[in-house]
Every structure is written in structure tokens, then in C-alpha cells.
Amino acid sequence: METRKDDYSASLFVNFPPNSKSMAWYWPSGKSKDSEGKSPAAAEPVKTASKQQYLDELPPKFSETTTPKPQLEKPTKADLSQAWKTISWDDFKLTNLVQIPCFRDAGLTGLATMGVFGSVIFIFYKNPSKAINWSFGGLWIGSIVGWEQCNSLRRTSNKTTQIAKQVYEQKSRKED
């Protein structure tokens, strides 16, 4: 499949109106046009209902049980053995780990730091064992920094969402 340079760049970046401060980047999928022959940048926006919906108002993706939590008690030996029996090797598969929020970001940041630390130390000292030690240290440091940075951004985003939701509810009450 042959793609022109213009089609490729249109699939990567969507231009928004000049007064908008939003940008969107898309991963190149090899397809420069959708099934109707329109480029993604020319696609019309999806029309939504007049009432705004927040993420909290949408139905949950996974089923949630709303049973009240019992008081925390000291775990007994039977509880620990029952818990141990529920753990399996499938719990540690990569497909389960990447569903943990911020795991992917932390891993990628750690791997990038590992590569940088290892490369720089190897270039300067020409000592592979020293470079490997520093690269593993970089993996741990980068993973911890990536994890904390991602969780900080998530907390900030959740706070902003809650504030926006409260402001919207207050405005809708005033209008009523």
C-alpha cells in the first residue's frame, strides 16, 4: 500500500481552530483514510446530547459490587491460606500488569533511563559491569520517578474533574 507524504502527515496531526489550545496526535496505522474515503482530520465531530456527561456518570466498564466493607480484623491463618490459594501464575502475566494504572508509563520511563545511564557510563568508562550496574540503578530510579509522576498527574486530573463537576452542578442549580 502506497501512502503519500500528505496523507501520512494528515493522519498524525489534527488541526484545530486557532483559538483552541488543543492538539491531537494519532499513531500511524498505515491507513490514511477511513472507510468512506475521508481523512481523519476531515472527519466531522461526533454530536452528543445537549446535557454534558462526565466520566463518573457513564456506566462502569467492569461490574462493581456495592457490598459494605466489614470492619478490618486481624487476619487469621485460615484467611491467609485461603488468600494464598487464590494466587496463580496467571496473576503475574504481562497482560494483567499493564492494566495497572501508571505501570506502563513507569516501565517505559525506567527502560529509557536504563538505556541512557548504561550507554553514558559505558561510553565514558568502557567498563561493561559498571555500565550494567548503573543501568539497573537507572531502571529502578526511572521506574519510581515515572510511577510517582504519573500518579501525581492522575491525582491532579481527578481533583480538576471533581472541581469542574461541582462548578457545573452549581451552575445548573442556579439556572433552575
Residue 24: inside a domain: yes
> Do the domain assignments include residue 151?
yes
Grid coordinates representing 20 are 483552541
> Domain check: are 159 and 94 in the same one?
yes
Q: What is the pTM of this model?
A: 0.48
Mean pLDDT to the nearest integer, 65-89:
73
Q: Does the residue 15 lie in any domain?
A: yes
Task: Check pLDDT > 80 for residue 21.
Answer: no
Is 132 within a domain?
yes
Number of domains in the chain: 2
Q: Is residue 70 part of a domain?
A: no
pLDDT at 89: 85
Domain identity same for 159 and 95: yes
Alpha helices in 22-127 (DSSP H): 77-86, 94-97, 103-125
> Domain range for residue 135?
89-163
Q: For residues 93 and 158, state if they share a domain.
A: yes
**Backbone torsion region of residue 126, taken as left when φ is above 0, otherwise alpha when ψ lies between -120 and 50, otherwise beta:** left
Average pLDDT, integer, range 31-42: 50
Kindly give the interhelix angle for 103-125 and 128-175, rounded to the nearest 10 degrees: 150
* 3-class SS of residue 17: coil
27 in any annotated domain = yes
Which pLDDT does position 73 carry in this prediction?
67
- Alpha-carbon separation of residue 45 from 13, 48, 72, 105, 169 (angstroms): 15, 9, 49, 29, 26
Q: Of 24, 45, 42, which Cα lies nearest the Cα of 34?
A: 42
- Contact status, residue 167 vs residue 115, Cβ threshold 8 Å: no
- Which pLDDT does position 65 carry in this prediction? 64
Provide the pLDDT for residue 28. Answer: 52
Rounded mean pLDDT, 141-151 = 96
Query: Does residue 74 form part of some domain?
Result: no
65 belongs to a structural domain: no
- Going by pLDDT thresholds of 50, 70 and 90, the confidence category of residue 16 is very low
